[in-house]
Structure 1
Amino acid sequence: MMRMGFLKLVLLLVLVSLQGHILMGTSSEDASSIQLNDDVLGLIVFKSDIQDPYSYLQSWNEDDNSPCSWKFVQCNPETGRVYQLSLDGLGLSGKLGRGLEKLQHLKVLSLSYNNISGNISPQLGLITGLEKLNLTHNSLSGRIPSLLANVMSSIRFLDLSENSLSGPLPDDLFRSCTSLRYLSLAGNMLEGPIPSTLLTCFSLNNLNLSRNHFSGEPKFASGIWLLKRLRTLDLSVNAFPGPIPQGVLGLHNLKELLLQGNHFSGSVPLDIGLCPHLSRLDLRDNLFTGALPNSLSMLRSISFISLSNNMLTSEFPVWFSNISTLEYVDFSNNGLTGSLPSSIGDLKSLEYLSLSNNKLTGIIPTSLVYCTKLSVIRLRGNSFNGSIPEGLFDLGLEEVDFSGNGFMGSIPPGSSRLFESLRILDLSSNNLTGNITAEIGLFANLRYLNVSWNNLQSRMPPEIGYLQSLRELDLRNSELHGSIPGDICESGSLDILQLDGNSLSGPIPEEIGNCSSLYLLSLSHNNLSGSIPKSISKLNKLKVLKLESNELSGEIPQELGKIESLVAVNVSYNRLIGRIPVGGVFPSLDQSALQGNLGICSPLLKGPCKMNVPKPLVIDPDSYYKHRQRNESSDDPATSRDHRMFLSVSSIIAIIAAVLIAFGVIVISLLNVSARRRLAFVDTAVESMCSSSSKSASLAPTGKLILFDSRSSSADWVINAESLLQKASEIGGGVFGTVYKVSLGSHEGRILAFKKLITSNIIQNPGDFEREIRVLGKARHPNLISLEGYYWTSQMQLLVSEYAPNGSLQAKLHERLPFAPLFSWVHRFKIIFGTAKGLAHLHHSFRPPIIHYNIKPSNILLDENYNPKISDFGLARLVTKLDKHVMISNRFQSALGYVAPELTCQSLRVSEKCDIYGFGVLILEVVTGRRAVEYGEDNVVILSDHVRVLLEEGNALECVDTSMGDFPEDEVLPVLKLALVCASQIPSSRPSMAEVVQILQVIKTPLPQRMELF
């Protein structure tokens, strides 16, 4: 049946190709009738290339004389010809064939939100009357065909966004675009400059080129501003460089100007203020410097303005509060100085205000309480002082972040409105005093509460347990006293509980076992006593347990060894004794996690080992009778008397020895306690000195975590690095450091990966570090692990990146379980192709190019759809001060088999060709399922040499991994040949990554077969 359907299709195609000859021999009426069949034939041919899993196109029947009754097809009632085809969101897949070119009366073609792949058919350019083409949200790849320029004279709406299109735009694509009103190419992998012909599209109202890799000289910028009818201009997340020319901005009708995430530099253009209708201005994540231009005060219609993550330096503008239409303001991560004007209360529409990480001083004006619509206010990392205005907590705030300032006084009382709205409250690292009142339990939706590093001198109110939505509670170093409330986990929703560095006393409540969601429990540096509750073993999600520097006694419950999720434990400097648990993480603990106790039994520790239960006394039941018989058998009274005397002396000696031993134990114990207290005193003094020094420099006592993505619930926050790294288990490591999985529980459940760099004693300049990180942060591509932020102190640097849930390619290839799903050729080719595109972006979109140095399967991570993500790119830029020989030696060891031969033979001459060699070996590993180097009992197998020999013998397919199931030989064999070319011993013989991408496109979609079909 399938073969008959295919033959029928071929006959239809032949009929289409011969139709012009048939028309020459028919009357006009017959010709009109046959022309009507063009639409039927074209749509049937189009359908033949499409997979329709839900049978939406079931009504399309090739035997019909007209398609006008078909679903999703609309015809012109006068001509009877198809003028609109709308197949949006039907789950279609497949490719765009040649059938659509027959629909010569088509005006609207909309195939959005499907999964159509392959290239955009050049034949679409033959539909000369097309007015709307919408292919957004598909899986189209390759270049935009130059033939598409043929429809530009008629087209008004063109949307090719959210695909995988690549390469530069054709130079003549917009040679005739006078009708074009809407153009969106967003969310692709397009690159290069924008064709100058785009500037002739004078009717453009909406231009969206965001989230690509476009670049261009400033002369492009000076031209695009001449498109007078533009209402929306979105060039965000590209690589446009240089300053925006002053005096050329003539977009007087502009409503939205979105330039974020580029390399724009220089001053913010003065004439932006000449756009009277501008309602949205986004210039964040660029390199703008200087002062905010006063001309911005002329934007009387603006509601959204973001200038965050630039290098602006000026006093906070007084005119800011004159723009009464403002709803969203983000000036964070700049160098703004001065204080907030008292007129800020005039911003009656303001909903979002972020001024974090500037150099602002003074008090918060009390007039801010008149901004009655305010829901988010972030002032962290400045030098504000004074008290927090009480009326501010009468507003319906959802997020308050005042951390890292110098606020004094008490925490203002809440209001019924705030009790319902507040979700995030961060007042950490200030000088606040007073009590945490019982009303804290009224915040029904509070998810994150942090008042650490203050001087509250308060008890912990038991009402904290009433917070049903609380996910993270941080009360560290806040001078808290009293006991831990037993119902602190009444809600059961708490993920993180940090109470370190206080004066809490009494036992750890047994009810702590009710914290079923807890994965970080940190109670260190308090005065807690009693035993460790066995109920902690109920916390089956617990990853980190910190109980050091308390007065805890007894044995560590053996049940704690059953917590499989536990990855870090510290019980040092307590009064614990006995054996440590035999299961879980405990056998692998190091000395620092156990030291400073009275008698824990561990081979890591020196000193006495004390058991809680005394050893049983073994008695011989016949000893009394034997002793009596011996006495009775003695006829010599002197002997009997001497014997009795001997027993008395022995008893006396034993008693004296026992007393001396007990006295010695007491003395040693007292000395240990004294030494421990002296050590605690020194630690406290050092901590106090560090804290005082830190506060005198207007810095928090911990490092600063910066997240680039301002869409997260908190763009940046001050953290303690140790606690951060212990929030997640270690998931990997490499040449540059160790990787941890971190869930920002208080930030909408966001999961990220944190890499702790090994260069803590090398990178001492935060400016250099930040500059390099922000350059790497600009490297955005669907096949690169995006850098989301960083953490810096002089002792520790962390890189924050996106988390890939499917692990590494290394695990998929070499650590698969027997019951794991099939790792098919479709997935493998997708990984090869995506990795090639990611490397091509690094090599060809940056000057100088970014060289990875270490391409191997463990650095290829996979998202939930098996899309590859290259990690660890560009990190060598951060560690240039390291000893090169040490670095290269380590790299050779970690990437054995992937290192280009020229690196081992010459003086470390590194180029893009080194990456291409590693990529070639990686292809071989993906196709064969074998490691780059395999060691036998008496031989070593180099994978590239092994495959090359099989290829020369004509047996290359014998090395293909059989576990992938069926595979197309016409794809696998060319891929193997490409791999060997990439892994050539001669660097000049290796292709560029751009050429590799093109070759892989040809392999996946063989053009000869397509031409043969049509």
Structure 2
Amino acid sequence: MACLQRCFCINESSLQLNDDVLGLIAFKSELHDPSSALNLWTEDDSSPCSWQHVQCHPVTGRVTQLSLDGLGLSGKIGKGLDKLQSLQVLSLSRNNFSGSISPDISLIPSLSILNLSLNSLSSRIPIELASVVSLRFLDLSENSLSGPIPDSLFENLSSLRFVSFASNFLEGPIPSSLSKCSSLGGLNLSNNHLSGNPSFVNGFWSLTRLRILDLSHNAFSGSVPDGVSALQNLKELQLQGNHFSGSLPSDIGFCNHLSRLDFSDNLLTGALPNSLQRLDFLSFLKLSNNMMIGDFPYWIGNMSNLEYLDLAGNAITGYLLASIGGLKLLNHLILSHNQLTGELPASLSYCSRLFVLRLRGNGFNGSIPQSLFNLGLSEIDLSQNGFHGSIPPGSSKLFYSLQTLDLSNNKLTGDIPAEIGLFSNLRYLNLSWNNLHSRLPPQLGQFQNMTVIDLRNNAIYGLIPEDLCDFNSLSILQLDGNSLIGPITEDIGNCTSLSLLSLSHNYLNGSIPKSISNLKKLEILKLEYNYLSGEIPQELGRLDNLLAVNVSYNRLIGRLPMGGIFQNLDQSALQGNLGICSPLLKGPCKMNAPKPLVLNPFVYNIPMNSNNSVSDPIQHHRFLSVSTIIVMVAVALIVIGVLVVSLLNASTHRSLAFVDTAMESKCSSSQRSGSSATGRFSFFGSRSSSELVNNAESLLNKATEIGHGVFGTVYKASLGDEGRMVAIRKLATSNMLQSPDDFDREVRILGKASHPNLITLKGYYWSPQFQLLMTDYAPNGSLHSRLHERSPSTPPLSWANRFKIALGTAKGLAYLHQSFRPPIIHYNIKPSNILLDEKHNPKISDFGLARLLTKLDEHVKTSRFQSALGYVAPELACQSLRVNEKCDLYGYGMMILELVTGRRPVEYGEDDVMILSDHVRVLLEQGNACDCVDPSMTEYPEEEVLPVLKLGLVCTSQIPSSRPSMAEVVQILQVIKTPVPQRMEMF
């Protein structure tokens, strides 16, 4: 009998072990394993306990832990895991799993830890997880999950200790069942679209074991009620980036263990509650970008553990009191853009660990304390205040630590201290808009990492140093509005990283150096209001990146460079010179010749700086020799040629206002940024963060993947201190342009596309290893998700919004087709590339990316357009047909059919395949067109819906020439939308 029992136990154990093996093999079969991490998993083994990444119970031999973190696995989390009936830990984070979360996971009764974070999982959170009552740790963060959190999800999960759904696309309120999780210690729901008023907060106050609560970057609104003091164990409270209003809870200071408190970027009002001073362990306090008022609290200096204090962007008044010196551990003090006044207390130097000091945009006055420059600060920003006196010399400690110095827009006088040349790590120097009377320090060219020098509008005099760019890292040089004299040094051509060069409103003379043509990255050149003479070097026409030039009010003569932007300059960028040859200017045109014709300089009243005057007497001679007549005829012929070429190319004029705007944008984007050794960033009129500019790879590491497209993977990321969200596409490198100049040229063309129905391209990053495109982030998702992945709580699109989407998309495509030569063809129009803003206005994304391909025909033949099944024009598969804008018409036609019907372009049934265009055509011919309208639309005008359906069929014609142009589509839609009586009058 004992033998029989022993044999029975052995057979039962073998059966159980086989279940584990079979379950893991079935799970593996659904995966793509690029690094062969699971190669040793084989069904021939009787037990999986020796397999890598698998742990078993020492007694029963059953699998208890499966940890596959960071192995690069992709595919779907399929069946098989439910066989692992003793599994306690399932961790699959930092992979590329896609699809939905399998409900079969809920069939594992002993599961206590489930970590699926940092993948590409989509769809909704399965309600079946509510049955895993043993669950203690649940992390689904940084995926693409959408829809509401199931209301009853937490009903039976009283054992939960930690929950994170951060960085998804979840919406709706927080379920009330969460209050049942009485053991919860950490909750992170940040970076979603969750909303509602804070009535749920009372439920949180009952979670007395809560240590971490992060609801940041959602859409919560209303006031935060008192009662937070019930959370006696709370250490971190982060509610930033919402729409909370009212005052801070008055009892916030009774959370005795609180170490991190962040309510920034909300709508809070009132003063800081006095109870805050009770928080003895608080090290991080950020309340920036609210509407808080009241005096700067006197008790702030008693918070001895405070390391980070940010109250910027409020309306706080009063003085910075001497008690601030009591914050011995403080490393960040950020009080910018408030209404603080008075002098800086000398006791500020007692904050010996201070690393960042930002007091920009207040009313501080007095002199800058010398003791402040004895600290090891990395960033000093005292700009836009009323400081006077001289700039203190630095100390040896500051020489090595300082990276950013901004003292602009004050009343500083005296010299630029010689010690400034000792700041070996300085990257950003801005002393503009002061009254500094000094020569340019000769050490300016010795900064190895300097990217921005801005000394505008001072009283700086003398020559421009010849060694200004010895280390070739300088991106922005602004010296305008000073009293500089002498020629522009030829060595300026060594500044090959320059994108902005502004030397206007000085006393510079001599010719414009040819070496400027070496500045291949130069985008803005401002030389107006000087004494520059001679011709503009023809070599400057080769600067392909040059976007704005101003050489007005100098003594320049001769023809303009033939290439680049010079043929399209506005009159305001050229006027006030002696004889520049341009059809935009009136007056004589003077050319360099062996016996030059000398013009009367007093024909022009050349305005200079207030201290400048034109006093050079120039003789006015007339040469009537035969050689002079020949020269005159030759000059006339050349001028006529220049006029003809200029008239043919003067289609695009840039105004002087653009120069100033671009200059400020460029200055902003490069501020506090270092140059990359392996790649380069370029921004189109947007402000970048130093973190982004300095390290593109770290940006991708913290970014969240939100989708895949034809041309690469799309991420969302937060930039800068303000946490602005952008979308980042990491381009697939196959067949992409590998030349940085070619890539730059093509992307800049896309960057010029500006239309209300196009997603804005913000900039790009290029390196030999990878390329990134940065665009606006659309938090409301795509038309595809709104049509086919809509949650039950989200109302369906109304006909008015559907028509708005159809018309707006047509306008955006018409702009791409008509405003560029050659036209920008999208090639991949489909609902997933139509993004929606909060008012359901469409924004076309991914336009023009085919321009970045070296060989489009080879690209089209690949399988990359498989994801656009049903939207791809048939001619793209036929090399004998000319590919043009009509390709977009086909995808657009299919898109509006899908918009009206709510059905996909191709649907697979059990026995047949439904082609949407054929389906609509048959119903129209039978007179049953209304049968194909999306049933979720309860009301719609037939007089608009039927013509739109017919338009969709015309656009999807198999013959490209039978399709209308996109401009004609816009006109047709506008006629359809016109009220019937008016429409009849039109015909």
Normalised to the residue count of structure 2, the TM-score between the two structures is 0.70
Q: Distance in 2 between matches of 1:91 and 1:260?
A: 33
* 2:39 aligned with 1:95: no
* 2:927 aligned with 1:927: no
1:725 is matched with: 662
Q: Distance in 1 between matches of 2:782 and 2:449?
A: 41
Q: Distance in 1 between matches of 2:931 and 2:501?
A: 54
1:55 is matched with: 36
Opposite residue 81 of structure 2, the aligned amino acid is L
The DSSP-based 3-state class of the residue aligned with 1:133 is strand
Which of the residues 374, 396, 411 maps onto 1:431?
411
* 2:604 aligned with 1:672: yes
The DSSP-based 3-state class of the residue aligned with 2:604 is helix
Which of the residues 259, 266, 273 maps onto 2:253?
273
Q: Distance in 2 between matches of 1:207 and 1:339?
A: 38
User: Compared with structure 1, are the counterparts of its residues 785 and 142 closer, same or farther at alpha carbon in structure 2 (3 Å cutoff)?
Assistant: closer
**1:197-235 deviations in Å (ceiling 9; x for gaps):** 110101111111111111223220111121000111111
**1:294-321 deviations in Å (ceiling 9; x for gaps):** 1111111000000001110111111111
* 2:552 aligned with 1:580: no
User: Compared with structure 1, are the counterparts of its residues 425 and 195 closer, same or farther at alpha carbon in structure 2 (3 Å cutoff)?
Assistant: same
1:814-853 to 2 correspondence within 5 Å? 834=782, 836-837=784-785
Query: How many angstroms does 1:743 deviate by?
Result: 3.7
Query: How many angstroms does 1:615 deviate by?
Result: 5.5
Q: Distance in 1 between matches of 2:407 and 2:930?
A: 60
Q: Distance in 2 between matches of 1:846 and 1:372?
A: 57
CA contact (8 A) 2:669 2:685 kept: no
Percent identity over paired residues: 54
Which of the residues 86, 92, 114 maps onto 1:133?
114
Which of the residues 542, 554, 559 maps onto 2:522?
542
Which of the residues 110, 114, 117 maps onto 2:98?
117
2:199 is matched with: 219
CA contact (8 A) 2:247 2:268 kept: yes
Which of the residues 659, 669, 672 maps onto 1:746?
672
1:629-648 to 2 correspondence within 5 Å? none
User: Compared with structure 1, are the counterparts of its residues 430 and 868 closer, same or farther at alpha carbon in structure 2 (3 Å cutoff)?
Assistant: farther
Normalised to the residue count of structure 1, the TM-score between the two structures is 0.68
* 2:221 aligned with 1:241: yes
CA contact (8 A) 1:741 1:753 kept: no
Opposite residue 418 of structure 2, the aligned amino acid is A
The DSSP-based 3-state class of the residue aligned with 2:251 is helix
1:569-648 to 2 correspondence within 5 Å? 569-614=549-594
Query: How many angstroms does 1:486 deviate by?
Result: 1.1
Which of the residues 396, 401, 424 maps onto 1:421?
401
CA contact (8 A) 1:924 1:976 kept: no
CA contact (8 A) 2:871 2:890 kept: no
Opposite residue 41 of structure 1, the aligned amino acid is L
2:15 is matched with: 34
User: Compared with structure 1, are the counterparts of its residues 411 and 927 closer, same or farther at alpha carbon in structure 2 (3 Å cutoff)?
Assistant: same
The DSSP-based 3-state class of the residue aligned with 2:122 is strand
User: Compared with structure 1, are the counterparts of its residues 805 and 185 closer, same or farther at alpha carbon in structure 2 (3 Å cutoff)?
Assistant: closer
Q: How many residues align?
A: 769
1:512 is matched with: 492
Gaps of 5+ in 1: 1-25, 617-660, 682-719, 729-739, 757-779, 792-798, 814-829, 878-887, 896-921, 961-966, 994-1014
The DSSP-based 3-state class of the residue aligned with 2:400 is helix
User: Compared with structure 1, are the counterparts of its residues 561 and 800 closer, same or farther at alpha carbon in structure 2 (3 Å cutoff)?
Assistant: farther
Opposite residue 670 of structure 1, the aligned amino acid is F
2:134 is matched with: 154
1:789-808 to 2 correspondence within 5 Å? none
The DSSP-based 3-state class of the residue aligned with 2:397 is helix
Q: Distance in 1 between matches of 2:398 and 2:716?
A: 39
Q: Distance in 1 between matches of 2:300 and 2:912?
A: 61
Query: How many angstroms does 1:936 deviate by?
Result: 13
Opposite residue 57 of structure 1, the aligned amino acid is L
Query: How many angstroms does 1:831 deviate by?
Result: 14
User: Compared with structure 1, are the counterparts of its residues 60 and 555 closer, same or farther at alpha carbon in structure 2 (3 Å cutoff)?
Assistant: same
**1:484-506 deviations in Å (ceiling 9; x for gaps):** 11111122110000011111111
Q: Distance in 1 between matches of 2:887 and 2:65?
A: 64
RMSD: 4.7
Query: How many angstroms does 1:677 deviate by?
Result: 7.4
CA contact (8 A) 1:508 1:529 kept: yes
Q: Distance in 2 between matches of 1:316 and 1:979?
A: 68
Opposite residue 509 of structure 1, the aligned amino acid is T
Opposite residue 685 of structure 2, the aligned amino acid is F
CA contact (8 A) 2:784 2:831 kept: no
The DSSP-based 3-state class of the residue aligned with 1:270 is coil
* Higher-Rg member (1/2): 1
* 2:273 aligned with 1:293: yes
Query: How many angstroms does 1:924 deviate by?
Result: 9.8
CA contact (8 A) 2:322 2:346 kept: yes
1:736 is matched with: none
User: Compared with structure 1, are the counterparts of its residues 315 and 843 closer, same or farther at alpha carbon in structure 2 (3 Å cutoff)?
Assistant: farther
**1:962-1013 deviations in Å (ceiling 9; x for gaps):** xxxxx999999668799999x99989945779xxxxxxxxxxxxxxxxxxxx
Opposite residue 583 of structure 2, the aligned amino acid is P
CA contact (8 A) 2:461 2:485 kept: yes
Opposite residue 672 of structure 1, the aligned amino acid is Y
Q: Distance in 2 between matches of 1:337 and 1:87?
A: 54
User: Compared with structure 1, are the counterparts of its residues 416 and 837 closer, same or farther at alpha carbon in structure 2 (3 Å cutoff)?
Assistant: farther
Opposite residue 109 of structure 2, the aligned amino acid is T
Query: How many angstroms does 1:481 deviate by?
Result: 1.2
User: Compared with structure 1, are the counterparts of its residues 805 and 467 closer, same or farther at alpha carbon in structure 2 (3 Å cutoff)?
Assistant: same
**1:642-686 deviations in Å (ceiling 9; x for gaps):** xxxxxxxxxxxxxxxxxxx97xx43xx2252466679989xxxxx
2:808 is matched with: 854
CA contact (8 A) 1:923 1:976 kept: no
CA contact (8 A) 2:920 2:929 kept: no
CA contact (8 A) 2:450 2:674 kept: no
Q: Distance in 1 between matches of 2:557 and 2:347?
A: 59
Q: Distance in 2 between matches of 1:949 and 1:504?
A: 62
Query: How many angstroms does 1:36 deviate by?
Result: 2.0
1:356 is matched with: 336
User: Compared with structure 1, are the counterparts of its residues 55 and 941 closer, same or farther at alpha carbon in structure 2 (3 Å cutoff)?
Assistant: closer
CA contact (8 A) 1:781 1:841 kept: no
1:177 is matched with: 157
User: Compared with structure 1, are the counterparts of its residues 510 and 874 closer, same or farther at alpha carbon in structure 2 (3 Å cutoff)?
Assistant: farther
User: Compared with structure 1, are the counterparts of its residues 227 and 522 closer, same or farther at alpha carbon in structure 2 (3 Å cutoff)?
Assistant: same
Q: Distance in 2 between matches of 1:201 and 1:559?
A: 72
CA contact (8 A) 1:348 1:373 kept: yes
Q: Distance in 1 between matches of 2:895 and 2:333?
A: 62
1:83 is matched with: 64
**1:917-970 deviations in Å (ceiling 9; x for gaps):** xxxxx9899533899xx9999x9996489769999xxxx99x99xxxxxx9999
Opposite residue 594 of structure 2, the aligned amino acid is P
User: Compared with structure 1, are the counterparts of its residues 435 and 589 closer, same or farther at alpha carbon in structure 2 (3 Å cutoff)?
Assistant: same
Query: How many angstroms does 1:785 deviate by?
Result: 8.6
Gaps of 5+ in 2: 1-6, 614-656, 676-680, 688-704, 708-713, 732-746, 760-777, 817-823, 848-866, 938-987
CA contact (8 A) 1:549 1:572 kept: yes
The DSSP-based 3-state class of the residue aligned with 2:182 is coil
Which of the residues 307, 315, 323 maps onto 2:295?
315
Query: How many angstroms does 1:190 deviate by?
Result: 1.1
Query: How many angstroms does 1:382 deviate by?
Result: 0.5
2:380 is matched with: 400
The DSSP-based 3-state class of the residue aligned with 1:419 is helix
**1:239-272 deviations in Å (ceiling 9; x for gaps):** 1111011235411100000100111111011111
Opposite residue 128 of structure 1, the aligned amino acid is P
Q: Distance in 1 between matches of 2:11 and 2:931?
A: 65
CA contact (8 A) 1:83 1:107 kept: yes
User: Compared with structure 1, are the counterparts of its residues 741 and 393 closer, same or farther at alpha carbon in structure 2 (3 Å cutoff)?
Assistant: closer
2:439 is matched with: 459
